[in-house]
Amino acid sequence: MNVINPATGDRIETYEDDDIGDAKEGLETSMDAYESWRTRPLRERELLLSNVADILGENTEKYAELMTREMGKPISQARGEIEKCEWLCNHYAEHADAYLGDDYHPSPAGSAAKTSYEPLGVVLAVMPWNFPFWQVFRFAAPYLTAGNVGILKHASNVPGCAKAIEEIFRDAGYPEGVFQSLLLPSSSVEDLLADDRVKAATLTGSGPAGRAIASTAGEHLKKTVLELGGSDPFVVLDDADLDDAAETGAWARNQNSGQSCIAAKRFIVHDDVYDEFVDRLVDEFDALTVGDPMDDDTDIGPQARVDLMEELHEQVEESVDAGATVEIGGEPLDREGAFYPPTILTDIPEGSPADTEELFGPVASVYRATDEEDAIETANDTEFGLGASIWTQDRDRGDRLAGRINAGCVYVNQLVKSDPRVPFGGVKESGYGRELSEIGIQEFVNRKTIWVE
Ligand code: NAP
């Protein structure tokens, strides 16, 4: 695997690929590790996870720079990602025993009925490049602590991150085989997932990859969690605080250089405040600094790969050809690297890519809504259902409308975000299952009913 720095186009490292033979050997190691890992007291597994948090905290800069070099994330945001992983590990190190404690149920006098939570075995994780640490820790921290063992197949453009994470678990004191990173091509995933020793799989990535995993897993009756794409609405109502909405909206669209599943992608703005909001949003986009991702002041770095930037630009061009108006941006930057500017499109034609597809880069589609009803209808008019954000100064109105949005989460007067304390996941084409919180850690366990008479 060749790693290309997307900011410069230079090859920075080459890693030797693993193949399916290596993966099968890795599985044997996982199975050996599982036998003792599953019976290790939960408190000990929690303590090992807090060692992981410490290593992340002590080496924030090193891991942040690694991410930035491999996929171009602005360095200040890369540091934030490592800090968030540390928080996540500390969260499960502190709460896993409560999340996995036996639950007792009502039962007849003289009997006891409970649910206990037991690990499943080897869990395969297929992960994307956009948050190369966070996505992996979001799976590994809870599921390993629950007593499973994990095999990671990371995205092919971040092998250095994949290997660094394996090393973190080793250095934290995890026994060999509890967590392994295999540098596999995606064509090997089907074979690996079909192996009897793999008990479950989780994928974060695109719809086609999710369907491929789900269909193999379905054939072999294995549990899956799928975290897929999104085209989250950002609804600005007539009573919104426009300063706050525009500032937060610009960040919600452009963080991680626009490459976030829960980015605000479709801005749906009430007619009464449309012109004013669009002006403010353009100003906010204009103020963002695009540049060297290693520079602390950079807001937007390169797209993670040149081909991804080209794909994004095709979506923009096709939408403009169909009638969309470019308010700002709209052309790749004339410089070395995969740089695309913050872009706003209005007059979105029905059925154009900006209307129906996920734009995985710093491009906002803005719609005018005639009233509240029209705004909710437009928000729901998508095949995706990951998150949504609603802006109104009337909290009751926000809460009421949140109930009408067809998505896995709705934030009122806040951008959509993931937080270890609350469940995260989508509906419709955005996938199924939940990560994080007690619901996340319980996805890959056998919820066993035990009835004692
Ligand atoms: P992707 O192309 O689907 O890749 C994700 C992972 O799946 C990579 O490891 C990739 O390996 C692997 N893969 C691709 N095709 C596969 C197949 N047919 N069978 C098995 N594995 C396969 O997605 P991406 O471009 O890296 O990531 C962007 C997408 O992820 C966006 O749609 C984004 O919204 C979504 N995402 C969702 C969430 C969420 O939590 N819901 C979070 C982040 C991203 P290779 O790299 O080797 O191809």
Q: Whose CA is nearest to atom 18 of ligand 1?
A: 209
**Amino acid of residue 404:** R
Known catalytic residue: 161?
A: no
Distance 283 CA to ligand 1 centre (A): 33
What are the structure tokens assigned to 320, written together? 């403009």
Is the distance from the beta carbon of residue 429 to the nearest atom of ligand 1 less than 6 Å?
no
Is the distance from the beta carbon of residue 228 to the nearest atom of ligand 1 less than 6 Å?
yes
- On average, the pLDDT of the chain sits at 98
Distance 127 CA to ligand 1 centre (A): 6
Res 98: pLDDT: 98
Nearest to 251, CA basis, from 135, 424, 416: 416
Q: What is the mean pLDDT of residues 28-45?
A: 98
Is the distance from the beta carbon of residue 358 to the nearest atom of ligand 1 less than 6 Å?
yes
Res 21: pLDDT: 95
Is the distance from the beta carbon of residue 189 to the nearest atom of ligand 1 less than 6 Å?
yes
Is the distance from the beta carbon of residue 338 to the nearest atom of ligand 1 less than 6 Å?
no
What are the structure tokens assigned to 67, written together? 């991410």
CA–CA gap between residue 408 and residue 378 (Å, rounded): 17
Known catalytic residue: 166?
A: no
Helix (H) or strand (E) holding 306: helix 306-321
What are the structure tokens assigned to 88, written together? 């996540």
Distance 205 CA to ligand 1 centre (A): 3
CA-431 nearest atom, ligand 1:
41
CA-129 nearest atom, ligand 1:
26
Handedness of CA 292, 295, 296, 297 (dihedral sign): negative
Q: What is the pLDDT of residues 202-251, one digit of tens each?
A: 999 999 999 999 999 999 999 999 999 999 999 999 999 999 999 999 99
Share of residues in the chain with pLDDT > 70 (%): 100
Q: What is the mean pLDDT of residues 97-117?
A: 98
Is the distance from the beta carbon of residue 324 to the nearest atom of ligand 1 less than 6 Å?
no
Res 66: pLDDT: 98
Distance 229 CA to ligand 1 centre (A): 9
Q: What is the mean pLDDT of residues 135-139?
A: 98
Query: Which of 81, 261, 327, 429 does the annotation list as catalytic?
Result: 261
Query: Which of 227, 284, 358, 438 does the annotation list as catalytic?
Result: 227
Going from the C-alpha of 184 to that of each of 126, 156, 157, 191, 235, the distances in angstroms are 10, 8, 11, 11, 40
Distance 206 CA to ligand 1 centre (A): 5
Res 443: pLDDT: 98
Res 444: pLDDT: 98
Handedness of CA 182, 187, 189, 192 (dihedral sign): negative
* Count of other CB atoms within 10 angstroms of residue 211: 14
Q: What is the pLDDT of residues 178-211, one digit of tens each?
A: 999 999 999 999 999 999 999 999 999 999 999 9
Is the distance from the beta carbon of residue 206 to the nearest atom of ligand 1 less than 6 Å?
yes
Find all residues with CB under 8 Å of 340, minimum gap 6, and list them.
Answer: 257, 258, 302, 303, 309, 312, 313, 329, 332, 333, 361, 362, 363
CA–CA gap between residue 85 and residue 168 (Å, rounded): 12
Phi-psi region of 203 (alpha: psi -120 to 50; beta: other; left: phi over 0): beta
Q: What is the mean pLDDT of residues 441-445?
A: 98
Nearest to 119, CA basis, from 40, 203, 214: 40
349 touches 393 (CB < 8 A): no
What are the structure tokens assigned to 122, written together? 């080897």
Distance 141 CA to ligand 1 centre (A): 20
CA–CA gap between residue 256 and residue 252 (Å, rounded): 9
Is the distance from the beta carbon of residue 229 to the nearest atom of ligand 1 less than 6 Å?
yes
Res 73: pLDDT: 98
125 touches 435 (CB < 8 A): no
Res 192: pLDDT: 97
Is the distance from the beta carbon of residue 428 to the nearest atom of ligand 1 less than 6 Å?
no
Distance 397 CA to ligand 1 centre (A): 36
Catalogue the E-assigned strands of 231-362.
232-236, 264-270, 325-328, 343-346
Share of residues in the chain with pLDDT > 90 (%): 100
Q: Whose CA is nearest to atom 14 of ligand 1?
A: 209
In order, the DSSP letters of 62-79 are HHHHHHHHHH---HHHHH
pLDDT-based confidence at 107, cuts 50/70/90? Answer: very high
Is the distance from the beta carbon of residue 359 to the nearest atom of ligand 1 less than 6 Å?
no
199 touches 30 (CB < 8 A): no
Q: Whose CA is nearest to atom 23 of ligand 1?
A: 205
Domains (range + CATH), the chain: 2-228+428-452 (3.40.605.10), 232-412 (3.40.309.10)
